[in-house]
Structure formats: C-alpha cells, structure tokens
Amino acid sequence: MSDELNQNTEQQSQNELQDQNKSSEKIKSNISPIAAAFVGLVGGFFLYQFVGGLLTLIVFGFDLDKAPINGLRLMTMAGQILFILLPALVFSKLIYEDVGKIIRLRIPEWTEIILFVVGIGILTPLLQSYLYIQNYYIEVWAKNSESINQLKTFFDSLNELVDKTYGNLLKASTIPELLLVVLVVAVVPAVSEEVMFRGFIQRSFEIKIKAFIAAFLTAVFFSLYHFNPYGLIPLAVLGFYFGFAAYTSKTLLIPILLHFLNNFTAVILYYIIGSEELIKSDVSAKSGEDLGFYSFVTIALSLVFVALIFLIKKYYSQKQVA
C-alpha cells in the first residue's frame, strides 16, 4: 500500500512537471520571464507607492487626517486600477505574445470554487490565531532583549500607521458608504492585485522555475508590498494559497474570488461588530492560558487545512485541468 502511494505521488509530481513544461514551451516572450516578473514587481511598486503617494499629497496635502475620507477612498481605488491593474495588463501585452496564457481566466466549475472557498474559510481564523501566538512571543522576547525591543518599537509605529489608514478606509455608517468600502477594499484590490501578482508576476516565474517556488516567491513579494510588519507571515501564507489556487486551477478567477472574500469578510465584520481587533495585526495572547487555546486552534485548523489541500490536489489529478 505504501509503495503504491509513493508511486502515485511520484507520478502526480511528474505529471505536474510535464504540464508545466508543456505550458511554458508555448509561451513566447520578448524578454526573460524572470526579468519580466521583476519588471512587474519594481514597476508596480514604484508606480503605486511613489507615484500614487505623490498624487495623493498633491491632491490632499500633507495633513491627510483633514482630507475627505471618500476622496481618499476614491484615490486609493484609482491608484489600484491605474498603477497595479493597468501596468499588469500593459506589461503582459508588451512582453508576451499571448496575453491569455498569462492572465488566465478559465471559468471554474462549482466544485472547484467550493473546495477553495472552504480553504479560505479555514485559513482566515487559522492565521488570526497564529497572530496571537506570534505577537505573544515577540512581546516576551522584547522584554528580554533591547535590540528586539527597539525593532518592536519601530514595527509598532509602522503598524499603527497601517492600521490607522486601513481602519479609516473601513469605517462606514450607512449602507451606501458600506457599498463604497466594499468596492474600494474588496472588489478592486482583489482584481488588481491578483492580475498583477498571481497573473503577470507568478505566471512569469512559472515559465522558468517550478510552480511551487514561483508561488512562494510571489507570496513573499505580495506580503512585503503591504508594509504590514506583524502580518508579514500571515500575508505570505495567504498569498501562497492564492498562488496555489491560481496554478492548480489554471485560472485567476478563483484567487480573485478568494481575495475578495477575505477582504469582504473583514469589511462586513468590522461594520457589524466594530472591533478594531478584526483588522489589527498586533493582537496578542494575554496569558499562558490564552496561548494554549490559540495554539490548539492553530494546530487543529492546520491539520484540517492540510487535509483539504490534499483533497484539492487529488481532485485536480483526477480532473486533469487543461
């Protein structure tokens, strides 16, 4: 039985590698795909963070606390479209002969959608529990090390800025305002960031390196791009799951949906409950008893999540998505 399982696993890995090689051979590019990926990373980062930031300062001035919140929301949405989504599409068109093989938009079946949505439903509380554990130990280490304490102080100031900005975007007092928040925080980022990261960047990496490594690298850059020090690992794990979904399903529509659901859930819960702990990434377990609870939740959900990943891989090995 063990030998049969090993043979099946080995055969599945060989099939995935053959599929990747066949797919890569058909894609023609004007420059190295690896170089193309870094063009997307550097170009998108510069355009969104610096050009977008400069335009925001020109329009609203340096005191953003006095700027109209809906104006900032619209500027954020415009920045996502103009400096992330549009460059991803332009880079794909200029560098690759067939944009459709880079920005993959196959319509998935309902079974695929359900499997991946269950995954995000497990992963969200799992990563939240992990944050409580991670930050508990960071606080302990900071008390015993001056260098770590200084680093924590810097992270706290950066995290406070991120949480304040994100919290202001999320606050809504009416249904029309809530719909605008959903558009700005959930819909536009899901489409823009997935087309850039899991579309142009990850797909470019996939042409030259193994899909697993391509998804991992893209996830790391995706996490760094968000400037969230305490959320670095959870964002990378989330990004890797999106990358796994994109490569396995051969469509961007699933990671776009997952990204949307992740952000949409935060928006709705924040609107209903109003607790800042729902959006903050510097939450921490308060005691050893809390730590034990969050450790149990993290381990239990991790086991369920890993089992689901195997189920998804088994589904696609039988389905053999073209």
In sequence order, what DSSP letters do the residues of 44-56 get, joined into one string? Answer: HHIIIIIIHHHHH
Q: Are the CB atoms for 167 and 276 separated by under 8 Å?
A: yes
- Side-chain-side CA neighbours of 232 within 13 Å: the count stands at 11
Q: How far apart are CA 213 and CA 202, in angstroms?
A: 9
Strand partners, 29: 96
3-state secondary structure of 145: coil
- Side-chain-side CA neighbours of 168 within 13 Å: the count stands at 17
Residues 6+ apart with CB under 8 A from 107: 251, 253
One-character DSSP codes across 187-216: IHHHHHHHIIIIIIIHHHHHHHS-HHHHHH
Q: How far apart are CA 319 and CA 313, in angstroms?
A: 10
The sign of the CA dihedral 130, 136, 137, 138 is positive
pLDDT in tens, the chain (322 residues): 445 445 554 555 555 555 555 555 578 888 999 999 999 999 998 898 888 888 888 887 777 777 888 888 999 999 999 999 999 999 999 999 899 999 999 999 999 999 999 999 999 999 999 999 999 999 989 988 898 889 888 888 888 877 777 777 888 889 999 999 999 999 999 999 999 999 999 999 999 999 999 999 999 999 999 888 899 999 999 999 999 999 999 999 999 999 999 999 999 998 888 766 656 666 666 666 788 999 999 999 999 999 999 999 999 999 875 4
State the Cα angle at 273 between 270 and 274, rounded to 5°.
Answer: 55
Q: How far apart are CA 293 and CA 226, in angstroms?
A: 29
What is the structure's pLDDT at 5? 44
What is the structure's pLDDT at 277? 61
How distant, in Å, are the alpha carbons of 17, 164, 242 from that of 214?
13, 32, 12
DSSP alpha helix (H) spans, the chain = 2-25, 33-45, 52-60, 69-80, 86-95, 110-144, 146-170, 175-181, 188-194, 202-208, 211-225, 232-249, 253-273, 288-319
What is the structure's pLDDT at 23? 52
What is the structure's pLDDT at 166? 76
When computed from its CA atoms, the radius of gyration of the chain, rounded to whole angstroms, is 21
What is the structure's pLDDT at 262? 96
* Stated pTM of the model: 0.89
